[in-house]
């Protein structure tokens, strides 16, 4: 019953946002962020703690400004996601400016799979849908199911609206490996906290657990890794410059190879977070252990 009530509210907000339109609805993000940051704080302590660890030299007022900005950024992304059913194919194609989308086609033409990485930054859902349309190639998007299965089903329907396919994160890595061996493009976010027993890399000068999946898949399939981070502009559009993560000059040892590739794509993400800290999602326990 709880899931159904939540889903009804979720759908209600989606219709409300479509009724008011995206331009006006985005303006409400400031009010909603104020409510959940100051009046009914959700994960505020976690957010502030993460920011203090990442930016130990920043003043408390600056940390709070970035934290509030992160809440607002997430709410803008959520509003945009709830508006997805009303978006046309052309609108989605133009939602993210990607001057070098041809890089995807170039790597795909090498007759091998391609690993496309992004992060919970700006609007990651826009990134996957828009760059896929610009490249003219469908992605197999690896997604983590939401707690509410009704919301998960709704999200997956809009994710496949523009030709992409959905692969559940719970699926065996062998199946993702199979997609890459079949010369498909596999897209995933790469900024979640990894398991306690997993590998660790430096992230903001802290040894941080990360998932080894992208690096392992790249080594096993010889697939290139392309990273795209959608940076929100002042007019609410997005811009991303795709970059291939180098897999040259790796150590001989297999585990060291995995760690090195993971470090390279994590460092690439950190560079963007340092430049636009308010656009990354700081609300999860990134440094839980």
Determine how β-strand 206-209 pairs with β-strand 165-168.
Answer: unpaired
Instruction: Name the residue among 285, 135, 283, 275 with its Cα closest to residue 206.
Output: 285
* For range 49-72, the mean pLDDT: 98
> According to the model, what pLDDT value does residue 168 have?
82
Where in the chain are the domains? 2-279
* Residue 35 in tokens: 């409510």
Alpha-carbon dihedral of residues 22, 28, 32, 34, nearest 10 degrees?
140
Q: Around Cβ 2, how many Cβ atoms within 10 Å? A: 8
pLDDT digits (tens, 9 = 90+) for 144-162: 888 999 999 999 999 999 9
pLDDT digits (tens, 9 = 90+) for 78-87: 999 999 999 9
**CA 271 – CA 210 distance, rounded (Å):** 17
pLDDT at position 272: 98
Closest by alpha carbon to 244, among 256, 229, 260, 228? 228
Give the orientation angle of helix 2-20 with respect to helix 60-82, to 10 degrees: 90
Section 248-267 average pLDDT: 96
Q: Is 55 left (phi over 0), alpha (psi -120 to 50) or beta?
A: beta
Is the predicted pLDDT of residue 50 greater than 70, yes or no?
yes
Q: Is 242 left (phi over 0), alpha (psi -120 to 50) or beta?
A: beta
With 70 as the cut, is the pLDDT of residue 172 above it?
no
Is residue 171 predicted with pLDDT exceeding 90?
no
pLDDT tens-place string over residues 174-218: 788 889 999 999 999 999 999 999 999 999 999 999 999 999 999
Rounded Cα distance between 120 and 190, Å, is 8
Compute the distance between CA of residue 262 and CA of residue 278 in angstroms, rounded to an integer.
23
Contacts 24+ apart (CB under 8 A), 181-184: 181/113, 181/221, 182/113, 183/108, 183/111, 183/112, 183/113, 184/113, 184/140
The average confidence (pLDDT) of the chain is: 95
- CA 67/CA 45 separation, integer angstroms: 10
* β pairing state of 200-203 and 139-143: unpaired
Q: What is the pLDDT of residue 170?
A: 66
The answer to whether 77 touches 123, Cβ cutoff 8 Å, is: yes
Over residues 249-272, the mean pLDDT reads 96
pLDDT tens-digit readout, 94-112: 999 999 999 999 999 998 8
């Amino acid at each position: 019953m709880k899931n159904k009530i939540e889903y009804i509210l979720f759908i209600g907000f989606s219709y409300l946002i479509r009724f008011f339109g995206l331009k006006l609805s985005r303006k409400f993000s400031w009010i909603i962020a104020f409510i959940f940051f100051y009046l009914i704080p959700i994960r505020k302590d976690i957010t502030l703690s993460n920011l203090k660890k990442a930016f130990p030299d920043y003043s408390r007022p600056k940390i709070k400004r970035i934290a509030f900005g992160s809440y607002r950024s997430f709410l803008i992304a959520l509003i945009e996601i709830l508006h997805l059913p009303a978006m046309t194919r052309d609108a989605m194609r133009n939602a993210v400016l990607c001057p070098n989308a041809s890089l995807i086609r170039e790597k795909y033409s090498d007759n091998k799979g391609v690993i496309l990485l992004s992060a919970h930054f700006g609007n990651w859902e826009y990134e996957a849908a828009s760059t896929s349309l610009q490249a003219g190639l469908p992605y197999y998007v690896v997604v983590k199911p939401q707690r509410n299965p009704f919301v998960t089903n709704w999200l997956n329907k809009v994710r496949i609206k523009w030709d992409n396919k959905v692969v559940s994160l719970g699926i065996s890595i062998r199946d993702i490996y199979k997609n890459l061996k079949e010369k498909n493009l596999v897209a995933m976010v790469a900024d979640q906290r990894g398991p306690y027993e997993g590998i660790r890399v430096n992230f903001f000068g802290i040894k941080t657990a990360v998932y080894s999946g992208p690096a392992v898949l790249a080594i096993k399939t010889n697939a290139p890794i392309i990273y795209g981070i959608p940076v929100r502009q002042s007019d609410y559009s997005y811009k991303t410059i795709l970059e291939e993560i180098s897999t040259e000059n790796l150590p001989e040892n297999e585990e060291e190879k995995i760690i090195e590739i993971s470090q390279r794509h994590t460092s690439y993400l950190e560079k963007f977070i340092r430049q636009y800290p308010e656009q990354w999602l700081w609300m999860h326990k990134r440094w839980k252990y």
